[in-house]
Structure 1
Amino acid sequence: MMDKVIQEYWQPILESYQRGETALPLYMGLNQNGYETLLLAMGLESVTLPLEVESKLQLRLELLNMRIGELEELERLLVESLEPSIAFGNEMVTVLASACLGNQHLWRDLGMPERPRLTALFRDYFPSLHVSNNKNMRWKRFLYRQLCENGGDYVCRSPSCEECASYFECFETP
Protein backbone atom coordinates (compact mmCIF):
# COMPACT_ATOMS: atom_id res chain seq x y z
CA MET A 1 0.00 0.00 0.00
CA MET A 2 2.89 2.37 0.76
CA ASP A 3 4.15 2.22 -2.84
CA LYS A 4 0.63 2.90 -4.14
CA VAL A 5 0.26 5.90 -1.82
CA ILE A 6 3.54 7.35 -3.04
CA GLN A 7 3.04 6.59 -6.73
CA GLU A 8 -0.64 7.46 -7.06
CA TYR A 9 -0.96 10.42 -4.72
CA TRP A 10 2.23 11.96 -3.40
CA GLN A 11 4.37 11.78 -6.51
CA PRO A 12 2.06 13.85 -8.75
CA ILE A 13 1.41 16.35 -5.94
CA LEU A 14 5.11 16.82 -5.22
CA GLU A 15 6.09 17.03 -8.89
CA SER A 16 3.35 19.57 -9.64
CA TYR A 17 4.31 21.57 -6.57
CA GLN A 18 7.97 21.69 -7.57
CA ARG A 19 6.94 22.95 -11.03
CA GLY A 20 4.82 25.68 -9.43
CA GLU A 21 1.58 24.17 -10.80
CA THR A 22 -0.46 23.95 -7.60
CA ALA A 23 -2.25 26.38 -5.30
CA LEU A 24 -0.18 25.12 -2.39
CA PRO A 25 1.83 27.54 -0.26
CA LEU A 26 5.49 27.34 0.65
CA TYR A 27 6.42 23.78 1.72
CA MET A 28 2.92 22.66 0.68
CA GLY A 29 1.54 24.00 3.97
CA LEU A 30 3.92 21.85 6.03
CA ASN A 31 6.84 23.28 7.95
CA GLN A 32 10.23 23.08 6.20
CA ASN A 33 11.37 20.07 8.21
CA GLY A 34 8.11 18.19 7.53
CA TYR A 35 8.38 18.96 3.82
CA GLU A 36 11.99 17.77 3.62
CA THR A 37 11.16 14.63 5.62
CA LEU A 38 8.34 13.87 3.18
CA LEU A 39 10.67 14.35 0.20
CA LEU A 40 13.26 12.06 1.77
CA ALA A 41 10.65 9.37 2.46
CA MET A 42 9.54 9.59 -1.18
CA GLY A 43 13.12 9.22 -2.40
CA LEU A 44 13.09 12.73 -3.85
CA GLU A 45 15.60 15.48 -3.35
CA SER A 46 14.74 19.03 -2.45
CA VAL A 47 15.10 21.22 -5.51
CA THR A 48 15.88 24.89 -5.58
CA LEU A 49 12.79 26.55 -6.88
CA PRO A 50 13.06 29.47 -9.29
CA LEU A 51 12.82 32.80 -7.48
CA GLU A 52 9.47 33.71 -9.08
CA VAL A 53 7.98 30.35 -8.00
CA GLU A 54 9.29 30.71 -4.45
CA SER A 55 7.93 34.27 -4.25
CA LYS A 56 4.50 33.03 -5.37
CA LEU A 57 4.61 30.24 -2.77
CA GLN A 58 5.55 32.70 -0.03
CA LEU A 59 2.63 34.94 -1.00
CA ARG A 60 0.28 31.95 -0.87
CA LEU A 61 1.56 31.17 2.63
CA GLU A 62 0.82 34.73 3.74
CA LEU A 63 -2.69 34.50 2.26
CA LEU A 64 -3.21 31.11 3.93
CA ASN A 65 -2.24 32.62 7.28
CA MET A 66 -5.01 35.20 6.82
CA ARG A 67 -7.51 32.32 6.59
CA ILE A 68 -6.07 30.21 9.41
CA GLY A 69 -9.44 29.60 11.10
CA GLU A 70 -10.87 28.17 7.88
CA LEU A 71 -7.77 26.03 7.39
CA GLU A 72 -8.07 24.65 10.92
CA GLU A 73 -11.74 23.76 10.39
CA LEU A 74 -10.88 21.90 7.20
CA GLU A 75 -8.07 20.06 8.98
CA ARG A 76 -10.42 19.02 11.82
CA LEU A 77 -12.95 17.71 9.31
CA LEU A 78 -10.28 15.71 7.49
CA VAL A 79 -8.68 14.34 10.66
CA GLU A 80 -12.05 13.00 11.82
CA SER A 81 -12.22 10.82 8.71
CA LEU A 82 -8.53 9.97 8.35
CA GLU A 83 -7.69 6.27 7.93
CA PRO A 84 -5.28 5.83 10.87
CA SER A 85 -3.04 3.22 9.25
CA ILE A 86 -2.32 5.06 5.99
CA ALA A 87 1.14 6.46 5.34
CA PHE A 88 1.66 10.21 5.67
CA GLY A 89 -1.92 10.78 6.80
CA ASN A 90 -1.29 13.89 8.90
CA GLU A 91 0.77 15.39 6.11
CA MET A 92 -2.05 14.74 3.63
CA VAL A 93 -4.53 16.45 5.97
CA THR A 94 -2.37 19.59 5.99
CA VAL A 95 -1.64 19.56 2.26
CA LEU A 96 -5.23 18.87 1.26
CA ALA A 97 -6.64 21.53 3.59
CA SER A 98 -4.12 24.03 2.21
CA ALA A 99 -5.12 23.18 -1.36
CA CYS A 100 -8.78 23.80 -0.49
CA LEU A 101 -7.95 27.49 -0.15
CA GLY A 102 -7.10 27.70 -3.86
CA ASN A 103 -9.50 29.02 -6.49
CA GLN A 104 -9.84 26.09 -8.88
CA HIS A 105 -11.16 22.54 -8.58
CA LEU A 106 -9.45 20.79 -5.69
CA TRP A 107 -7.71 18.23 -7.89
CA ARG A 108 -6.11 21.07 -9.86
CA ASP A 109 -5.19 23.12 -6.79
CA LEU A 110 -3.59 20.00 -5.36
CA GLY A 111 -1.68 19.17 -8.56
CA MET A 112 -3.41 15.87 -9.32
CA PRO A 113 -3.59 14.83 -12.99
CA GLU A 114 -7.38 14.24 -12.91
CA ARG A 115 -10.38 14.23 -10.58
CA PRO A 116 -10.77 10.41 -10.39
CA ARG A 117 -7.34 10.21 -8.73
CA LEU A 118 -8.49 12.69 -6.09
CA THR A 119 -11.58 10.54 -5.52
CA ALA A 120 -9.31 7.51 -5.03
CA LEU A 121 -7.22 9.54 -2.58
CA PHE A 122 -10.38 10.26 -0.55
CA ARG A 123 -11.31 6.57 -0.67
CA ASP A 124 -7.91 5.54 0.75
CA TYR A 125 -7.16 8.45 3.11
CA PHE A 126 -10.63 9.59 4.19
CA PRO A 127 -12.99 6.62 3.78
CA SER A 128 -15.97 7.99 5.70
CA LEU A 129 -15.94 11.22 3.69
CA HIS A 130 -15.66 9.18 0.51
CA VAL A 131 -18.73 7.12 1.47
CA SER A 132 -20.65 10.27 2.48
CA ASN A 133 -20.11 11.82 -0.95
CA ASN A 134 -22.56 9.36 -2.46
CA LYS A 135 -23.81 11.80 -5.12
CA ASN A 136 -20.33 12.49 -6.51
CA MET A 137 -20.28 16.16 -5.47
CA ARG A 138 -17.09 17.98 -6.40
CA TRP A 139 -14.71 17.49 -3.48
CA LYS A 140 -14.02 21.08 -2.44
CA ARG A 141 -17.71 21.94 -2.50
CA PHE A 142 -18.46 18.74 -0.62
CA LEU A 143 -15.97 19.61 2.14
CA TYR A 144 -17.36 23.10 2.56
CA ARG A 145 -20.89 21.73 2.58
CA GLN A 146 -19.79 19.38 5.40
CA LEU A 147 -18.42 22.38 7.31
CA CYS A 148 -21.70 24.20 6.77
CA GLU A 149 -23.74 21.24 7.99
CA ASN A 150 -21.47 20.93 11.02
CA GLY A 151 -22.39 24.47 12.05
CA GLY A 152 -19.49 26.38 10.54
CA ASP A 153 -19.69 29.95 9.38
CA TYR A 154 -20.05 28.95 5.74
CA VAL A 155 -23.08 29.90 3.72
CA CYS A 156 -25.09 26.99 2.33
CA ARG A 157 -26.95 28.57 -0.55
CA SER A 158 -29.82 26.13 -0.73
CA PRO A 159 -31.64 24.00 1.82
CA SER A 160 -31.53 21.16 -0.71
CA CYS A 161 -28.89 20.61 -3.37
CA GLU A 162 -31.44 19.26 -5.82
CA GLU A 163 -33.28 22.61 -5.70
CA CYS A 164 -30.19 24.77 -6.09
CA ALA A 165 -29.55 26.70 -9.34
CA SER A 166 -25.86 25.73 -9.11
CA TYR A 167 -26.53 21.98 -8.94
CA PHE A 168 -24.53 21.11 -12.09
CA GLU A 169 -21.56 23.20 -10.92
CA CYS A 170 -21.28 21.07 -7.79
CA PHE A 171 -21.98 17.55 -9.01
CA GLU A 172 -19.95 15.60 -11.54
CA THR A 173 -22.23 14.07 -14.12
CA PRO A 174 -21.30 10.57 -15.31
Structure 2
Amino acid sequence: MNTEFSAGKFWTPIIQAYLDGHTALPSYMGLEPEGFSLVCHYFQITPPAAFSHQHPQRLLLSDLAGLRQSERQDLITLLNQYRNPEDSFSSQMTTVLSFACLGTQHLWHDIGMPERPLLTQLFGFYYPELRAMNNRNMRWKRFLYRQLCTTGGDYVCRSPSCETCSSFAECFEVEESASQHTSASQHQGMM
Protein backbone atom coordinates (compact mmCIF):
# COMPACT_ATOMS: atom_id res chain seq x y z
CA MET A 1 0.00 0.00 0.00
CA ASN A 2 1.30 3.45 -0.91
CA THR A 3 1.11 5.23 2.46
CA GLU A 4 1.68 8.72 1.01
CA PHE A 5 -1.22 8.30 -1.42
CA SER A 6 -3.48 6.85 1.24
CA ALA A 7 -2.72 9.60 3.75
CA GLY A 8 -3.13 12.28 1.08
CA LYS A 9 -6.59 10.94 0.38
CA PHE A 10 -7.54 12.14 3.87
CA TRP A 11 -5.32 15.16 4.40
CA THR A 12 -6.02 16.88 1.08
CA PRO A 13 -9.77 17.44 1.62
CA ILE A 14 -9.24 18.40 5.27
CA ILE A 15 -6.58 21.00 4.47
CA GLN A 16 -8.54 22.35 1.51
CA ALA A 17 -11.76 22.64 3.54
CA TYR A 18 -9.82 24.44 6.28
CA LEU A 19 -8.35 26.88 3.75
CA ASP A 20 -11.84 27.46 2.32
CA GLY A 21 -13.30 28.11 5.79
CA HIS A 22 -15.48 24.98 5.79
CA THR A 23 -14.36 23.26 9.00
CA ALA A 24 -14.79 23.64 12.75
CA LEU A 25 -11.00 23.70 13.12
CA PRO A 26 -9.17 26.52 14.89
CA SER A 27 -6.10 28.36 13.59
CA TYR A 28 -3.57 26.09 11.89
CA MET A 29 -6.13 23.25 12.19
CA GLY A 30 -5.07 23.01 15.85
CA LEU A 31 -1.47 22.17 14.93
CA GLU A 32 1.58 24.23 15.72
CA PRO A 33 2.37 26.61 12.80
CA GLU A 34 5.41 24.51 11.87
CA GLY A 35 3.33 21.32 11.93
CA PHE A 36 0.70 22.89 9.69
CA SER A 37 3.39 24.02 7.24
CA LEU A 38 4.97 20.55 7.24
CA VAL A 39 1.67 18.82 6.50
CA CYS A 40 0.87 21.29 3.70
CA HIS A 41 4.34 20.92 2.21
CA TYR A 42 4.27 17.12 2.37
CA PHE A 43 0.89 16.89 0.68
CA GLN A 44 1.80 19.64 -1.79
CA ILE A 45 -0.85 22.16 -0.80
CA THR A 46 0.08 25.83 -0.82
CA PRO A 47 -2.20 28.19 1.08
CA PRO A 48 -3.17 31.28 -0.95
CA ALA A 49 -0.90 34.26 -0.34
CA ALA A 50 -3.76 36.25 1.23
CA PHE A 51 -4.78 33.41 3.55
CA SER A 52 -4.80 34.28 7.25
CA HIS A 53 -4.96 31.87 10.16
CA GLN A 54 -6.05 34.88 12.23
CA HIS A 55 -9.58 34.98 10.81
CA PRO A 56 -12.00 35.88 13.65
CA GLN A 57 -13.90 32.58 13.31
CA ARG A 58 -10.68 30.53 13.60
CA LEU A 59 -9.53 32.60 16.59
CA LEU A 60 -12.90 32.12 18.28
CA LEU A 61 -12.67 28.35 17.70
CA SER A 62 -9.19 28.43 19.25
CA ASP A 63 -10.51 30.27 22.31
CA LEU A 64 -13.45 27.89 22.70
CA ALA A 65 -11.18 24.86 22.39
CA GLY A 66 -9.06 26.27 25.19
CA LEU A 67 -12.10 26.14 27.46
CA ARG A 68 -12.49 22.43 26.68
CA GLN A 69 -8.83 21.43 27.00
CA SER A 70 -9.53 18.59 29.43
CA GLU A 71 -12.12 17.07 27.11
CA ARG A 72 -9.77 17.39 24.15
CA GLN A 73 -6.98 15.75 26.12
CA ASP A 74 -9.30 12.82 26.89
CA LEU A 75 -9.97 12.47 23.16
CA ILE A 76 -6.24 12.58 22.38
CA THR A 77 -5.57 9.89 24.97
CA LEU A 78 -8.31 7.69 23.51
CA LEU A 79 -7.15 8.18 19.92
CA ASN A 80 -3.49 7.66 20.80
CA GLN A 81 -4.38 4.38 22.48
CA TYR A 82 -5.46 3.04 19.08
CA ARG A 83 -3.31 5.14 16.74
CA ASN A 84 -1.29 3.47 14.00
CA PRO A 85 2.21 4.77 14.83
CA GLU A 86 3.62 3.64 11.48
CA ASP A 87 2.22 6.62 9.60
CA SER A 88 4.39 9.70 9.99
CA PHE A 89 1.36 12.00 10.32
CA SER A 90 -0.77 9.96 12.72
CA SER A 91 0.08 12.22 15.67
CA GLN A 92 -0.99 15.30 13.71
CA MET A 93 -4.21 13.57 12.66
CA THR A 94 -4.97 12.85 16.30
CA THR A 95 -4.59 16.54 17.11
CA VAL A 96 -6.79 17.63 14.21
CA LEU A 97 -9.48 15.04 15.04
CA SER A 98 -9.51 16.08 18.70
CA PHE A 99 -10.26 19.67 17.69
CA ALA A 100 -12.86 18.63 15.11
CA CYS A 101 -14.71 16.63 17.77
CA LEU A 102 -15.41 19.89 19.59
CA GLY A 103 -17.52 21.11 16.66
CA THR A 104 -21.30 21.04 16.70
CA GLN A 105 -22.04 19.01 13.56
CA HIS A 106 -21.21 15.53 12.32
CA LEU A 107 -17.49 14.81 12.68
CA TRP A 108 -17.01 14.30 8.95
CA HIS A 109 -18.44 17.77 8.37
CA ASP A 110 -16.54 19.47 11.21
CA ILE A 111 -13.22 18.09 10.00
CA GLY A 112 -13.92 19.01 6.37
CA MET A 113 -14.52 15.64 4.72
CA PRO A 114 -16.79 15.60 1.67
CA GLU A 115 -18.69 12.56 3.04
CA ARG A 116 -18.89 10.26 6.02
CA PRO A 117 -17.54 7.09 4.30
CA LEU A 118 -14.19 8.84 3.77
CA LEU A 119 -14.00 9.55 7.51
CA THR A 120 -14.66 5.85 8.17
CA GLN A 121 -11.76 5.02 5.83
CA LEU A 122 -9.60 7.52 7.74
CA PHE A 123 -10.34 5.66 10.98
CA GLY A 124 -9.45 2.38 9.27
CA PHE A 125 -6.13 3.85 8.16
CA TYR A 126 -5.07 5.74 11.29
CA TYR A 127 -7.00 3.89 14.02
CA PRO A 128 -7.72 0.38 12.69
CA GLU A 129 -8.70 -1.08 16.07
CA LEU A 130 -11.21 1.72 16.70
CA ARG A 131 -12.60 1.16 13.22
CA ALA A 132 -13.06 -2.52 14.01
CA MET A 133 -14.71 -1.70 17.33
CA ASN A 134 -17.31 0.46 15.57
CA ASN A 135 -18.81 -2.64 13.97
CA ARG A 136 -22.37 -1.26 14.10
CA ASN A 137 -21.52 1.87 12.13
CA MET A 138 -22.25 4.34 14.93
CA ARG A 139 -21.62 7.93 13.95
CA TRP A 140 -17.99 8.65 14.75
CA LYS A 141 -18.32 11.53 17.18
CA ARG A 142 -20.92 9.67 19.20
CA PHE A 143 -18.81 6.54 19.07
CA LEU A 144 -15.74 8.35 20.44
CA TYR A 145 -17.68 9.98 23.26
CA ARG A 146 -19.33 6.67 24.09
CA GLN A 147 -15.84 5.18 24.39
CA LEU A 148 -14.89 7.98 26.78
CA CYS A 149 -18.03 7.30 28.77
CA THR A 150 -17.39 3.57 29.08
CA THR A 151 -13.82 4.16 30.24
CA GLY A 152 -15.03 6.12 33.24
CA GLY A 153 -14.85 9.65 31.94
CA ASP A 154 -17.14 12.44 33.07
CA TYR A 155 -19.26 12.09 29.96
CA VAL A 156 -22.95 11.33 30.13
CA CYS A 157 -24.10 8.17 28.42
CA ARG A 158 -27.79 8.57 27.83
CA SER A 159 -28.68 4.91 27.74
CA PRO A 160 -27.16 1.76 29.21
CA SER A 161 -28.04 -0.07 26.01
CA CYS A 162 -28.12 1.33 22.50
CA GLU A 163 -31.20 -0.72 21.63
CA THR A 164 -33.23 1.04 24.34
CA CYS A 165 -32.01 4.54 23.52
CA SER A 166 -34.48 6.98 21.98
CA SER A 167 -31.67 8.36 19.78
CA PHE A 168 -30.78 5.00 18.21
CA ALA A 169 -31.63 6.14 14.66
CA GLU A 170 -29.51 9.27 15.08
CA CYS A 171 -26.42 7.33 16.16
CA PHE A 172 -26.32 4.50 13.65
CA GLU A 173 -26.31 4.87 9.94
CA VAL A 174 -26.51 2.46 7.06
CA GLU A 175 -23.83 3.33 4.51
CA GLU A 176 -25.42 4.82 1.43
CA SER A 177 -23.98 5.80 -1.90
CA ALA A 178 -22.03 9.04 -1.71
CA SER A 179 -24.61 11.07 -3.62
CA GLN A 180 -27.53 9.83 -1.52
CA HIS A 181 -25.59 10.39 1.69
CA THR A 182 -24.43 13.88 0.80
CA SER A 183 -27.93 14.93 -0.19
CA ALA A 184 -29.53 13.43 2.91
CA SER A 185 -26.89 14.79 5.27
CA GLN A 186 -27.51 18.35 4.11
CA HIS A 187 -31.00 18.08 5.57
CA GLN A 188 -30.06 16.40 8.86
CA GLY A 189 -29.62 18.12 12.19
CA MET A 190 -26.47 18.42 14.21
CA MET A 191 -24.06 15.68 15.32
TM-score when normalising by structure 2: 0.87
Q: Which amino acid aligns with 1:5?
A: A
Distance (Å, rounded) in 1 between the aligned partners of 2:29 and 2:134: 25
CA contact (8 A) 1:26 1:57 kept: yes
Does the 8 Å CA contact 1:24/1:57 hold for their aligned counterparts?
Answer: yes
Q: Is contact 1:36-1:46 (8 Å) kept? A: no
- For 1:139-150, what aligned pairs fall within 5 Å after superposition? 139-150=140-151
Correspondence list, 1:13-162, <5 A: 13-47=14-48, 48-49=50-51, 54-162=55-163
Q: Return 5+ residue gaps in structure 1 as ranges.
A: none
TM-score (norm 1): 0.95
2-structure distance, mates of 1:25, 1:73: 18
What stretches of structure 1 move > 4 A for 4+ residues in a row?
none
Q: Give the length in aligned residue pairs.
A: 172
Q: Which letter maps to 2:51? A: L
* Structure 1 residue 33 displacement after superposition: 1.2
Q: Deviations over 1:85-113 (max 9, x none)?
A: 12300000000110000000000000001
Deviates more, 1:78-87 or 1:9-18: 78-87
Distance in 2, matches of 1:58 and 1:163, equals 40
Question: Cα distance, 1:67 vs. partner?
Answer: 0.2
Q: What is the distance in 1 between the residues matched to 2:77 and 2:52?
A: 33
Question: What do residues 38-59 of structure 1 show as CA deviations (whole Å, max 9, x unaligned)?
Answer: 11111122333268x7111011
Residues in 1 aligned to 2:59 and 2:33: alpha-carbon distance in whole angstroms: 12
SS at match of 1:85: coil
1:2·1:87 contact (CA, 8 Å) conserved in 2? no
**Contact 1:25–1:60 (8 Å) recurs in 2:** yes
The code of the aligned residue for 1:13 comes to I
Letter in 1 for 2:6: K
Tell me how far apart the structure 1 counterparts of residues 95 and 52 of structure 2 sit (CA, whole Å): 24
Q: What is the letter of the counterpart of residue 105 of structure 1?
A: H
Query: In the alignment, which residue of structure 2 is the partner of 1:12?
Result: 13
Percentage of matched positions with identical amino acids: 48
CA distance in 1, matches of 2:115, 2:45: 22
Deviation at 1:36, TM superposition (A): 1.0
* Counterparts of 2:52 and 2:123, CA distance in 1: 32
Q: Distance in 2 between matches of 1:148 and 1:127?
A: 20
Matched letter for residue 34 of structure 2 = N
Runs of 5+ in structure 2 lacking a partner? 176-191
Give distance in 2, aligned partners of 1:93 and 1:4.
16
Aligned-residue RMSD, C-alpha = 1.3
